[in-house]
Amino acid sequence: IIKTVESDAPYVEIKTDGIDNLVIEESNSNELEMIISDADGLGVLEDFSCNDYNCVLSIKTELKIDNPITNKINQFPIAPPSNVSAVVKIPKGKKVTVFGEMIDIQTDGYDGILRILIDKGNVRIKGIKGITEVDLFAGTVYASVDQNALDIKTRKGRISMNEEIQKSPFRKKIKKAHKLVVKSINANVVLTEQ
């Protein structure tokens, strides 16, 4: 499924529900593009609407579970992987917010403001180009940071910079630098610097 829209809206919201993997890329044009691959044909409901102010992309899978696996500790059903992934290409300079529950997110860095608000998952960031803010409960954030300002907080997780353990909060101030902000309870943050 490929959807494209041209928009000058400064805000882009991406709402995900039941997809496994999301890749955020910079668009070379003024077009916002969403590519969804649905490996098992589980049916994807997506909403793609823009006004002058805001673009909202909702990606949701309709997964019917016959016999859900329950987590023995707290008896919540665990959703199996949906094998649905999406690539969203966004023009530079927007304020982008991604919402999701359990999802893995990858980006090569976004030239603008990118906020990722998820419950659990792995976030891989190859380079910081604007302001990238990640807020998650549990999982791992992998980021390659090079001359970036940092503000990393995790309550129970571990922070490492080039394989050396750091104390939380871990901050590095650089004037006029691109910035990475991570807030978490249980997530580990793995930073590598060239």
pLDDT, position 47: 83
Average of pLDDT values for 40-64? 81
pLDDT, position 194: 80
CB-based contact 181:173 (threshold 8 Å): no
CB-based contact 1:57 (threshold 8 Å): no
Closest CA to 183 of 119, 147, 133: 133
Query: 146 or 72, which is more confident?
Result: 146
The model's pLDDT over 115-140, given as tens digits with 9 standing for 90+, comes to 999 999 999 999 899 999 999 999 99
pLDDT, position 1: 82
CB-based contact 105:24 (threshold 8 Å): yes
The model's pLDDT over 175-189, given as tens digits with 9 standing for 90+, comes to 989 999 999 999 999
Residue 2 burial (C-beta neighbours within 10 Å; 0-12, 13-18, 19+): exposed
Task: Return the residue matching tokens 């070379």.
Answer: 28
Buried b (16+ CB within 10 A) or exposed e, 100-117: bebbbbbbebbebbbbbe
pLDDT, position 164: 95
Rounded to whole angstroms, what are the CA distances from 61 to 57, 76, 80, 159? Answer: 13, 19, 12, 33
pLDDT at position 25 over 70:
yes
pLDDT at position 16 over 70:
yes
Q: What is the mean pLDDT of the chain?
A: 88
